Amino acid sequence: MNIDTQAVQTGLEWDTRTGALSIPIYQSATFRHPGLGQSTGFDYSRSGNPTRLALEQGIARMDGGSRGFAFSSGMAAITSLLLLFQEGDHLVVTEDLYGGTCRLFDRIFTRFGLSFSYVDTTDREEVLAAITPSTKALFVETLTNPLLKFADIPALSTICHERGLLLIADNTFLTPYLLRPLERGADITVYSATKYLSGHNDTVAGLAVVRDPQLAEQVYFHQNSAGAVLGPQDSWLVIRGMKTLGVRLDRQQENALKIARWLQRHPQVTRVHYPGLEEHPDHDLIRRHARGFGAMIAFEVESHSLVEQLLLRTQLISFAESLGGVETLMTFPEGQTHADIPPELRARLGINDVLLRLSVGIENVDDLIDDLNQAFNKRETTV
């Protein structure tokens, strides 16, 4: 079955007693035991809840893994995965990383004796050079944020599996609709389901999927022990959002390519990063491995004053953090999403004071382009 069909199937016909097509929101903390030493399969909602389980089974199927896990946020999912490691362990990490993940690793997990090396994971030699005898895992983003570099999962998985390292892939920007890292050798995928999977900017959620059943047992142990689980209401919202993942992304990608081409031609735009453009360095690699290029664009404008002008004067496009929803959002990575990345690293990555990031939504693309156009055109004096 294709993944867009699988997405629609999530949670269907769970309730055979009433025949409810949409899974009920099982807003219950606890479940009555049928007898001593017996269970309905549900005992207490931290350990398992039917609405959450439907979501966990749905994402596991879509991602081709043995088991899925739903957490209260993307960061809670990543935190729970990091609990697999112990004092002294070292991880090699994509340098062009989501700011919140970088903050979690450097300011919290280093206090518990983990260490991290940040490298350009598109460069095999850099990855190999960073591996030490204490390295236990490689943590990558499949498409990075905000500069949209692609991780070659098959090549990285060869490196990992020859050395017994886990390969953990944050696949938030591509989703299983565009790339299924577990099929290409990753061990664990992790998602901020806040973004494309739920898709409506209405809930915060995280998901993880594990390939190997024994490793999945360990992840379950940590999910249940640390307890950062997703509630039933939010699980239902993610299921509802996920059903339209395929149609949303098809439209978002089509819009993104048109906007990227329009930006390329604009005289006040100096640089456009969008992997769907042939000149993007990872265009061919992504074409070979993934089903699409996603709908995130980063672009540089000719001056910092233009950054402010665009953020404040676009009307349809909201100046807001986050991404992946049906609404088009624009943000300023240096001051917002990547403020927690050390300034030297930001400079090396090309995150500067003229870089903007667009998360392209499903609106009519002509309206989006008109909105950008009027925001570029307005002069200070006309306010």
Positions in the binding site for ligand PLP (CB under 6 A): 73-75, 98, 100-101, 141, 145, 170, 172, 192, 194-195, 204, 206
Residue among 55 and 365 whose Cβ is closer to ligand PLP: 55
For residues 350 and 147, the answer to whether their CB atoms sit within 8 Å is yes
96 is catalytic: no
Give the nearest distance from C-beta 197 to ligand PLP in angstroms.
10
284 is catalytic: no
CA nearest neighbour of 187 among 208, 156, 216, 166: 166
Q: CB neighbours (10 Å) of residue 18?
A: 7
For residues 279 and 293, the answer to whether their CB atoms sit within 8 Å is no
CA nearest neighbour of 111 among 78, 87, 132: 87
98 is catalytic: yes
Q: Residue 88: which region, alpha, beta or left (left: phi > 0; alpha: psi -120 to 50)? A: left
Residue among 75 and 365 whose Cβ is closer to ligand PLP: 75
CA nearest neighbour of 210 among 23, 47, 54, 77: 77
Catalytic residue, chosen from 26, 61, 96, 98, is 98
Residue among 178 and 269 whose Cβ is closer to ligand PLP: 178
Catalytic residue, chosen from 67, 195, 240, 357, is 195
Cα–Cα–Cα angle for 325, 328, 333, rounded to 5 degrees: 95
- Structural tokens at position 311: 């953020």
Query: C-alpha 34: how far from its chain's center?
Result: 40
Query: C-alpha 2: how far from its chain's center?
Result: 21
Residue among 173 and 376 whose Cβ is closer to ligand PLP: 173
Which DSSP category does 104 fall into?
I
Catalytic residue, chosen from 170, 234, 282, 371, is 170
CA nearest neighbour of 116 among 145, 99, 95: 95
Instruction: Please name the residue ranges forming H helices in 276-364.
Output: 283-289, 304-313, 343-349
Residue among 75 and 127 whose Cβ is closer to ligand PLP: 75
Give the nearest distance from C-beta 195 to ligand PLP in angstroms.
6
Give the nearest distance from C-beta 361 to ligand PLP in angstroms.
16
170 is catalytic: yes
Give the nearest distance from C-beta 128 to ligand PLP in angstroms.
24
Residue among 189 and 309 whose Cβ is closer to ligand PLP: 189
Residue nearest ligand PLP (C-beta atom)? 74
Give the nearest distance from C-beta 76 to ligand PLP in angstroms.
7
Give the nearest distance from C-beta 317 to ligand PLP in angstroms.
18
Catalytic residue positions? 46, 98, 170, 195
